[in-house]
Structure 1
Amino acid sequence: MSNPLKILPDSKLVIGLPVICPRDSSNNARFIGSQQSDIQKAPYQVALLINHWQKFQILVCGGAIIRPNVVITAAYCIHGTTSAKWRVRAGSANYNSGGQIANVKTYIEHSEFDKLIRVNDVALLFLSSPFSLGTNVKAINISMYTSDMTSSNNATATGWGSPQVDKCLTRNLRELTLKIIDIKNCSASYPDKFTSNNMICGKRLNSAKYLFENRRTICRGDIGGPLRENENNTLIGIISWGNGCANINNPIVFTNVMKYMDWINSNLSVN
């Protein structure tokens, strides 16, 4: 890096617990230019829920099923927590009802995860019991691309996150199609933050025509969710961070899952 690294304050990053609201806010809480997604279009998507005073569960992050008993997510989501606090919902487009629920037996986050600059932002959750796979619940294969993603690739991100820092979650899963951009162009958008080839960056397609809509990129509740490469329907990324919840000018940054295949396989083999 030619420039000294500066750490953006937490208010500039997409972090923290989402705001829970009593009523469905799906008309307002959405990716910009997104559409509501049927769970059968993303049957690998899961909601990571944390117990709150043993009375109700809060959606904290997303994740993806890579084996019937294994979910991949962002290390940021589970860092500093205990396995007993977590529940994982699969097979439902609504994060707080339907589908299947599993407890988390244990989790492993990357040993070199850095919370401040979000490097090595990857973790595996091992479930107490496997999900029953079917039409609404499926594992997604990780892409085997040997080269970096290019601008010729389009991908789809899914999640339930808030439209802004202080806004409600969307109750229904939504999806957003993104254009993969070169990591150098991504770095130019974030001159004061660290980016590397272990990350993937994506920008919204045709964002200009959505200028007057409720501006939406990723936000609280989306982190840890999957990025699917559309041509082969394989997992290429994990939603990691972005510059503010409603900034339409900056790309979304994902953990490049393909760069962590050795780490993933070594941990799958011993758990």
Structure 2
Amino acid sequence: VIYKYQECVQGSGQNYRGTKSVTKSGSRCLSWDSPAVKRKLNNAWRSDALELGLGSHNNSLNRPAFRIFGGRQSDITDQPWQAAINVYQPRRRQHFHRCGGVLIDSCWVLSAATLDKADRLEVILGRTFRKQNSSSEQIFKVEKYWIHEKFDNETFDNDIALLKLKTDVGICAVNSPEVLPACLPEPGLVLPSWTECEISGLWKRQRIEVMSACGPMSAASQKCCLDAQLPPNMLCAGDTRGLDDACKGDSGGPLVCRNNDRMTLMGVISWGDGCGQRDKPGVYTRVTNYISWINGKIKANPVL
């Protein structure tokens, strides 16, 4: 077996930041919150542990594709379904950015599968700048969320989660120019080659949008996706020149594509090999494979 360089351990392995949790000999790695690693560089007690994906697990859930690379700054009205998911850190008594999300209905947000406890999460809609309040923003607590039952935290297969926003009045997000739900696709929808698509995310003080082509990709890009042995629940998309991509900070955000003059949610940002590398497109959870799962959760958990 030939492993990519990201999966290789250097030296003692104390600084390993890959996704594997079992050694070649079959031994399980220590969890990041194990007392044995409390004095090591990487541990769950670091102030930036959440951003680095360090917690009560023994692999790194900090995806290689977690922030927009390239692209242009844009206003939230260009992507009004973009959500920011923050997590509260009790020790520092404030919220920190965890990942992106996509509003799909008034009280429902899609995201990636790596989340913290529901009572620590907040969802911000309608904000262009991540750290700058806006009169158009709408902020919600999370009542509950569901991570897909078959999520694999090593391969990121089924990398999707559904969040239910908390409300006492039977409605959550109110439609406005800054806040609108993305359209869900029909199950099995396949778009034509070179469909116009966009990915978006929030990072530092700016919101960034990039243009992306859904395909056909170059032969090298297709080979890259095949080499990664992607399951059918994932799709590749990206600018094959390596100019636009998602990397650290945006997992869970939207890949929306034009379909009959409507921007339709085709993917959720999942992972990738580096940032903006030529012929190495980003990998997204294929939303068309989860319509029944999404609708089933919403129907079984009505907003009261």
TM-score computed with the length of structure 1 as normaliser? 0.78
Q: Tell me the SS of whatever aligns to 1:258.
A: helix
Q: Which runs of structure 2 are paired with 1:86-105 in the superposition (5 Å)?
A: 86-96=121-131, 97-98=133-134, 99-105=137-143
Mapped pair 1:40 → 2:73? no
Judge conservation of contact 1:43–1:139 (CA < 8 Å) in 2.
yes
Give the 3 Å change call, closer, same or farther, for CA 170–253 of structure 1 in structure 2: same
Partner of 1:180: 214
Mapped pair 1:268 → 2:298? yes
Mapped pair 1:250 → 2:280? yes
Correspondence for 1:228 among 246, 256, 264 = 256
Give, in whole Å, the separation in 2 of the partners of 1:246 and 1:229: 20
Q: Compute the displacement of 1:145 (Å).
A: 6.2
Q: Which runs of structure 2 are paired with 1:50-129 in the superposition (5 Å)?
A: 50-53=87-90, 55-75=93-113, 77-78=114-115, 81-96=116-131, 97-98=133-134, 99-129=137-167
CA deviation map 1:104-134 (0-9, x unaligned): 0000010000010010011100011212221
Judge conservation of contact 1:228–1:234 (CA < 8 Å) in 2.
yes
Partner of 1:24: none
Q: Compute the displacement of 1:58 (Å).
A: 1.1
Partner of 1:165: none
Judge conservation of contact 2:201–2:253 (CA < 8 Å) in 1.
yes
The unaligned stretches of length 5 or more in structure 1 are 20-28, 161-168, 211-215
Give the 3 Å change call, closer, same or farther, for CA 228–61 of structure 1 in structure 2: same
Partner of 1:189: 224
Partner of 1:132: 174
Give, in whole Å, the separation in 2 of the partners of 1:224 and 1:95: 15
Partner of 1:200: 235
Identical aligned residues as a percent: 27
Question: Amino acid of the residue matched to residue 68 of structure 1?
Answer: S
Which structure would you say has the larger Rg? 2
Q: Tell me the SS of whatever aligns to 2:213.
A: strand
Question: Amino acid of the residue matched to residue 76 of structure 2?
Answer: I
Matched length: 238
Give, in whole Å, the separation in 2 of the partners of 1:193 and 1:176: 24
Give the 3 Å change call, closer, same or farther, for CA 147–67 of structure 1 in structure 2: closer
Q: Compute the displacement of 1:230 (Å).
A: 2.6
Give the 3 Å change call, closer, same or farther, for CA 83–127 of structure 1 in structure 2: same
Question: Amino acid of the residue matched to residue 40 of structure 1?
Answer: T
Q: Tell me the SS of whatever aligns to 1:233.
A: strand
Question: Amino acid of the residue matched to residue 194 of structure 2?
Answer: S
Pick 1 or 2: higher relative contact order, CA cutoff 8 A, min separation 6.
Answer: 1
Give, in whole Å, the separation in 2 of the partners of 1:151 and 1:12: 33
Judge conservation of contact 2:126–2:138 (CA < 8 Å) in 1.
yes
TM-score computed with the length of structure 2 as normaliser? 0.70
Q: Tell me the SS of whatever aligns to 2:290.
A: helix
Question: Amino acid of the residue matched to residue 109 of structure 1?
Answer: I
Mapped pair 1:142 → 2:184? yes
Give, in whole Å, the separation in 1 of the partners of 2:2 and 2:139: 41
Give, in whole Å, the separation in 1 of the partners of 2:123 and 2:233: 26
Alpha-carbon RMSD: 2.7
